[in-house]
Amino acid sequence: MIKTAESVTKYHPDKICDQISDAILDACLTQDDTSRVAVDAVGGHNTLFLIGEITTKADVDYNKVAEKVYKNLTGKRIDCFNNIVSQSPDISKGVDKGGAGDQGIMIGYACNENEMKIPQEMYLARKLLEPFKTDGKSQVTLEDGKISKVVLSVQGWTQTELNSKVGKFLKLLLTTKDFQVYCNNTGTFKIGGFDSDSGCTGRKIVVDNYGPRVPVGGGAFSGKDATKVDRSGAYMARWLALQLLKKYGARETLVKLAYVIGKAEPVMMMALVDGRKIDFDIGSFDCRPQAIIEQFDLRKPIFQETARNGHFGIKSYSWEKTERR
């Protein structure tokens, strides 16, 4: 079996936009923990645009928040413009009574392949990028559980330097020496980030989830407060998958939740344990958006960190803790 996954550094253009969106969310929650936020950032080539809907009592200069995040990441300034309005009343009347802020399908997954409980190819792709502080991407292919191909592209590094880094990293992991490495495969990667490419919030949803081995529901996380089940429902699904992995001593678990706008309870809950569908006791778990928010304390300004380092597999996140609160 062949499995491949990629990851990106927090300096990648799309990840810069994710962090800006979540920094704006955090700024609103810091002053008003009932803030409703749905903000996207689109940027590139010295210009950034913010667009979306925010309903809050917080007094936040959205442009200044975005400019600060960009300056902290790159050391550079950027011209920022925004067109942010209040949440649609058609949405808010459903959320006000505790219902989901949108329809959608959320996926949760867990496996026993590493300490992060995520697919091994995704785990390795993430780990490969840890030493780098510039724009970069990694990709790892496993064949029958063994690394067969590694792709690494990092701004400001030579092919020789990257090959050395990859070699040292893989020596700690490999059970075979028969693999191929592709480092900065065009020969050079001097210009990166917004100087070379545009970015957009939510464009790395497979990286944010579990890699292409596991299906995604389709909704991005960043820039959305927890009344949006795209985010809170996905966190709950992950927690449920971890619960089932532990309960059954399984190799892998997959959970699917589905919601309809304005209704609190999911319209679907389904779980697979090692590929076998199990009876899901829906009454044992409260998957209403407000209950998820309470369980994981999702009114706190904790979200910019998730946009940097991944949404799953980080032990400090409340939805990664298997004990029930």
Share of the chain above pLDDT 90, in %: 78
The whole-model pTM stands at: 0.93
Using the predicted structure, report yes or no on whether residue 176 has a pLDDT greater than 60.
Answer: no
Helix pair 229-248, 289-296: axis angle to 10 deg: 70
pLDDT at 89 over 70: no
pLDDT tens-digit series, residues 260-277: 988 889 999 999 999 999
Interacting residues of 4 by C-beta distance below 8 A, sequence separation 6+: 121, 139, 140, 141, 142, 149, 211, 212
pLDDT at position 88 is 64
Rounded Cα gap, residues 265 and 201, in angstroms: 28
Check whether 324 has a pLDDT greater than 70. Answer: no
- In this prediction, residue 170 carries a pLDDT of 72
Per-residue confidence at 309, pLDDT binned at 50, 70, 90? confident
- pLDDT, mean of residues 204-223: 95
- Own/partner contacts of 246-253, CB < 8 Å, gap of 24 or more, are 246/322, 248/273, 248/274, 250/112, 250/274, 251/111, 251/112, 252/109, 252/110, 252/111, 252/112, 253/108, 253/109, 253/110, 253/111
pLDDT confidence of residue 103:
84
Query: Is the pLDDT assigned to residue 175 strictly greater than 80?
Result: no
Residue ranges and CATH numbers for the domains of the chain are 2-8+120-195 (3.30.300.10)
**Are 99 and 262 contacting, i.e. CB atoms less than 8 angstroms apart?**
yes
Contacts for 62-69: CB closer than 8 Å, 24+ residues apart: 62/24, 62/27, 65/20, 65/23, 65/24, 65/27, 66/20, 66/23, 66/24, 66/41, 68/23, 69/16, 69/19, 69/20, 69/23, 69/304
Is residue 280 very low, low, confident or very high in pLDDT (cuts 50, 70, 90)? confident
Is the pLDDT score of 172 beyond 70? no
Pairing relation of β-strands 36-44 and 199-200? Answer: antiparallel
Cα 48 from Cα 79, distance rounded (Å): 6
Mean of per-residue pLDDT scores for the chain: 91
Q: What is the per-residue pLDDT for 102?
A: 78
Is residue 36 predicted with pLDDT exceeding 80? Answer: yes
Low-confidence winner among 76-90, 139-153, 261-275 (lowest mean pLDDT):
76-90
Question: How many Cβ atoms are within 10 Å of 321's Cβ, its own excluded?
Answer: 13
Q: At residue 56, what is the residue type?
A: T
Rounded distance between C-alpha atoms, residue 313 and residue 242, angstroms: 10
Structure-token pair, residue 223: 């820039």
Specify the range with the lowest mean pLDDT, choosing from 29-33, 128-132, 172-176, 236-240.
Answer: 172-176
